[in-house]
Amino acid sequence: MGSLTDLTGRRFGRLHVVRRAPNQGRRVMWLCQCTCGHRKTLATDYLTSKGYRSCGCLRNEFTRKRSTTHGDTIGRHPTKEYRAWSHMKGRCYNPTDPRYGSCGGRGITVYAAWRKDFAAFLRDVGRSPPNGMLKRRDIDRDYAPDNCFWEIPSQSVSHRWRKSSAGARFRPAKRPRSSIETIAAPARAGARKERCRANG
Ligand SMILES: [Zn+2]
């Protein structure tokens, strides 16, 4: 096996080598504690020559930081949330958008803080669940924190309404109450209108 370098106690960036771990095949493995709290088992060369310096959290932070500088992307593709945001604006403000007639054409607008600021939109509605679609509870009202949510369209309509009270629908994370007029929500009445796919 040759000479084994004992890495126990050594530090590689955020990683602290706790102890040797069982070999994987012929590879000598080390249990590492990351400063973020996660533990990861890595082979010797990952630490000494491949330059691993965290459990993966460092890289995640880096890509997250980079992706938020221009819009919101995964690789080179805009995220679902970013696309929903730009489609929403198109429906409301771009007369050439095929769905402008059912939104902007009817006087529907986008909440002022969202219109110019994707980050504000994301903060209020949160990330979409898988397959989620941005919907409004009441299609006669604007795109605003108290009217938008992520809907999972795979659920059949009847099933959906039965489940809705059990938390199948995703509600906006936070609502800056002060800046929106509070309207006594016609809760179930508004729900029926959503079935016409106007705001998809
Ligand atoms: Zn970490």
Q: Which of the listed ranges 69-78, 97-106, 163-172, 181-190 does the model predict with the highest average pLDDT?
A: 97-106
> What digits encode the pLDDT tens for the residues 32-74?
998 878 899 999 999 998 888 888 877 766 666 655 545 677 7
Cα of 56 from ligand 1 centre, angstroms: 6
Q: Does the predicted TM-score (pTM) go above 0.75?
A: no
If phi > 0 it is left, if psi is from -120 to 50 it is alpha, else beta; for residue 33 that is beta
Cα of 59 from ligand 1 centre, angstroms: 9
Short-list 123, 136, 111, CA closest to 190: 136
Neighbours of 183 (CB within 10 A): 11
Cα of 50 from ligand 1 centre, angstroms: 17
Maximum Cα–Cα distance across the chain: 77
> What digits encode the pLDDT tens for the residues 10-31?
999 889 999 999 999 999 999 9
Report CA Rg, the chain: 24
Beta-bridged to residue 15, according to DSSP, are 12, 34
Q: Check the CA dihedral 120-121-124-129 and report its sign.
A: negative
Cα of 13 from ligand 1 centre, angstroms: 10
Sequence-distant (6+) residues with CB within 8 A of 194 are 135, 136, 137, 139, 151
